[in-house]
Structure formats: C-alpha cells, structure tokens
Chain A
Amino acid sequence: MAFSAGRKLAQEFELQFVFKTVMKLFAGYRNVTIPCPERKKRRSLPCGLASLAFVVLLAGGCSTSKPGSHPSRPGAGLTEYHMIVAELRKAVATSRQSAQVLAAAPQEEAVVAFQHFNDNVQRLEVGSIKARARADAMEKRGEAYFEEWAEEMSNSTDGSSDRTGKERFAEFRHYFDDILNNSKQVRQVFRPFLDGLRSVSASLGEHPDSSAVAAFRPSLEKVVSNGRLVEESLQQLLATLDKAQDAIRSGAVSPASSGGKP
C-alpha cells in the first residue's frame, strides 16, 4: 500500500525516475529488514512519500549491526582446531603406513603399493592445507586468535566471581601459549615429512617399475621415521587441546569479567 501511494504521488509530479531510484534502493534494503514488524503499520499513513522515507530510515536502522558480530558458540574455534588436528593425525598415519608398506613390499607388489602410496600422499597434501593454514595464521596473528577464542568463551560466562574469572582466564592463556608452541613444533616436523613423501612420489614418476621402488627404500625408511615424529607431535598438540577444552567445560573462562585481558 505504501508503495502504491508513493507511486501515485511520484507520477503526479512526473518524477518517476526519482521514485524508481528510491524503490530500487528500498528493494535492496528490504532484504536486510526482516525483523521490522512496523512495516505493516505504515499503510495507515496518508502520505506515501513520508512513509517511504520513514521505512527507508527504519530499514537502515534495522541493518546497522556489524556483519560478523554475532557470537559463535563457546569454544567453537578450539573445538574446530581440535577436529582439524585430529584429521591431520589420521592422514599422517595413513601416509606413513603406506610408505612403510611400500618400503617392505616384495617386488611383485611394489607397483600396487606405490599406487596406494601415491594416492595417500596426494590426499595428505590436500587434506593438510587446512591444518597448515590454520597453524600459519595462528603463528602470524597469535594474539588475535587468543582474542577470538576468548571472545567465544566470554559467551559462556556463568556469572563466576571476578577473581575466579581472572584465574580461569589466566589458565586459558597458559593453554593458549602451549597450543601455539605445540603447533609450531608440528609445523617444524611436518615439513620434512611432507617433502620426503613428495620427493619419493615425484622421483618414482607415474608408473615406476619394482626395481626403481626398491632403490628408494632408504628414503622411504627416513620418511617413515619422520612420520612417527609428526604423529608424536600431533598427539601432544591434541592432548593440550583436550586440556584446554576440559578447562572450558569445567567452568566458563570469563575474559569479560577480567576486562578482556589477563
């Protein structure tokens, strides 16, 4: 109704272009004004134009919340990182095992074992991107991650006393530093492992014969031992993440009550 009244008025003044522009803009705003029940009431206003202008202003008001500002569930970032690391550990173990199988494969099974090894290397290359990217970004932006995780945790505040909140926040800070250190350690041992896998895979080409595979046995053994180191460091990181998650579950860490910083 408000639209048709506005349209009539604009036609009267032969200012259709103005009306169309405003309507077009309003149509854009309409997408972000879902929670505005006031819109229905506008039909009773006598002046279509005034209603239009009012609704546009109102719509602007309804869309002023900052994008990305809605809170995520408490500890979501930490849980997600735990999941990524657990997936990586699984992929590393699979690749290490396939390298082990290839190194020990009898001549007649070497080609099949290599195919399996090659597939696993490719899967690890792709599957590890998420974990590596997260670890890189965390190392680069350390404090900003702490802020993100702390912000998530402040959503789970249980009204604990200021002192308890500060203690728990300091405890979480300690876990966060451990997580960063462990992630750094994983990065350091992961790199030679992946390089070793890639090197063997690329050197053997697409369809190697069994004698070529046998020639790479020493390199494969080195890859296997590097893989074990990666698995150990991932296990340590997972244990730290578990402890941090337990700390959150046992009681809300409340940066809000401690002023946002430890």
Chain B
Amino acid sequence: MNHFVKQVQVLGILLFGLPVASPRLEAQVVPGWPIGEPPPFVQGPNLAATLRNAAQATAGQARLARQAAADMGRRARSATYQMQNFWPDYQNLQFQFQGLRSILNLLGTQVVQLQRPRAANAVAELDAGLNIIAEAFTPVEQEIQARLVNRDTVVRMCRALELALEEWEKELRKNASRLGTIR
C-alpha cells in the first residue's frame, strides 16, 4: 500500500514537473530567428519572462553598438587613423547596429502576442528611433560612394551615434512598463 502511494507520488512529480519543464527544454528556439544560429535571448517559461529576456538582450546589444561607435570615434580622432583602420571599424559598427535592429524586431514579434496597442506602439517608436539614428550613417556612406572619406565626417557620425544610442537606451528603459517587461 505504502509502495503504491509512493509510486503515485512519483507519477505526480513527473506529471506536474514535465509540463512546467517543457518550455525550458526547448528554451533555445526563438521564433523569427534563423535555425542553427545562437538566439539572442532565451525563451522564458511564459510571455512575461520571454519579454524580459528580449528587452535585456536588446539593451545589451544597444550598449555594444554604442560602445562600437565610441571606440571608433576615439580611434578616428587620432592623426594616424587610415582607411585600412576605417573599414574594419565601420563594418563592426554596422554589424552591431544591424544586430540591434534584428533583436528589436524579435522583441516586436514577442510583443505582438500581447495584443495590446500600447506595447506595439512602444516598439514602433523604438523602431522609428533606430531608423532616425541610422541617418547618421548617410554622410559617411555618401563619402564612401565618392571615394573620399573625411575624418571629420567619421568622427561626427560616431559622436552622433554614440549620443543617439545612449538616448535610445534610455527610451528602451522608460518603455519597460508599456512593453510589459516590468509589472
């Protein structure tokens, strides 16, 4: 009898434990992210946790992009800065910025599940903010097309990106309540 009760209790653990554990087991799959690539954030046991993870990953990527702009700007001010230094810096900066857009898009796909206009509006604002910030690349892009990259333009772009991304990070934090990443 006692043995039977214990067996029932073990079954209880498995019955209650597995359904709760299952989201964690497939935690590495993030919808909208290419299969095989490491996802930028872990899917949580519920939507709130996933949103928090996505917002944290977005903030982390924004910091990386801002840091890339600051580092490039500092190097570009040096008199010894040459075109061969510019290319890897510029590519890295663009990579980090595109990464930020991708993660924000993913955050947007999670937010859609909330079906709340205020959360979707917040993402739309953040997305529009990145579109505006991306304008900082335009003068340098034009100079690249003309094959005449000016150091002052590069420094200016980096400074503008650094400051703008700092503001953008603040906005992301301020929007935590609208996004549903804090309760």
Compute how far the CA of A205 lies from the CA of B13 in the bound complex, rounded to whole angstroms: 70
Given contacts A10-B13, A15-B10, A69-B180, A25 and B114 within 8 Å (CB-CB): no
Q: Which of B10, B24, B46, B139 contacts A13 (CB 8 A)?
A: B10
From B83-91, B98-106, B129-137, the one touching the partner chain is B129-137
From A106-114, A127-135, A224-232, A249-257, the one touching the partner chain is A127-135
Is B4 located at the chain interface by the 8 A CB criterion?
no
Q: Which of B12, B125, B177 contacts A134 (CB 8 A)?
A: B125
Using CB atoms, name the residue of chain B closest to A125.
B160
**Which chain B residues (31-79) contact chain A, with CB distance < 8 Å?**
45-49, 51
Q: Interface size (B, Cβ < 8 Å)?
A: 52
**Which chain A residues (140-166) contact chain B, with CB distance < 8 Å?**
140-141, 144-145, 147-148, 151
**Contact indicator B46/A148 (Cβ below 8 Å):** no
Q: Which of B45, B49, B121 contacts A148 (CB 8 A)?
A: B121
Q: Which of A28, A69, A132 contacts B132 (CB 8 A)?
A: A132
Compute how far the CA of A67 lies from the CA of B152 in the bound complex, rounded to whole angstroms: 46
Using CB atoms, name the residue of chain B closest to A54.
B16
Compute how far the CA of A134 lies from the CA of B123 in the bound complex, rounded to whole angstroms: 11
Contacts of A18 in B (CB 8 A): 10, 13-14, 17
Using CB atoms, name the residue of chain A closest to B161.
A126
**Contact indicator A133/B128 (Cβ below 8 Å):** yes
Compute how far the CA of A127 lies from the CA of B112 in the bound complex, rounded to whole angstroms: 28
Number of CB contacts from chain A to chain B under 8 A:
140
Is B144 located at the chain interface by the 8 A CB criterion?
no
**Contact indicator A19/B13 (Cβ below 8 Å):** yes
Q: Which of A21, A28, A57, A122 contacts B163 (CB 8 A)?
A: A122
Interface string of A34-70 (1 = CB under 8 A from B): 0000000000000101101100110010010011111
**Contact indicator B180/A130 (Cβ below 8 Å):** no
User: A176: shortest Cβ distance to chain B, in Å?
Assistant: 13
Using CB atoms, name the residue of chain B closest to A77.
B118
**Contact indicator A136/B48 (Cβ below 8 Å):** no
User: A104: shortest Cβ distance to chain B, in Å?
Assistant: 25
Contacts of B179 in A (CB 8 A): 68
Is A246 located at the chain interface by the 8 A CB criterion?
no
**Contact indicator B128/A132 (Cβ below 8 Å):** yes
Using CB atoms, name the residue of chain B closest to A140.
B124
User: B15: shortest Cβ distance to chain A, in Å?
Assistant: 8
Compute how far the CA of A12 lies from the CA of B159 in the bound complex, rounded to whole angstroms: 63
Is B167 located at the chain interface by the 8 A CB criterion?
yes
Known: A68-B51, A202-B139. 11 other contacts (CB 8 A): A15-B13, A47-B9, A49-B12, A68-B114, A122-B160, A133-B128, A137-B128, A140-B124, A140-B128, A141-B121, A144-B120
What residues make up the interface of B, taking CB atoms closer than 8 Å to A? 6, 9-10, 12-17, 20-21, 24, 45-49, 51, 114, 116-121, 124-129, 131-133, 139, 152-153, 155-156, 159-160, 163-164, 167-168, 171, 177-181, 183
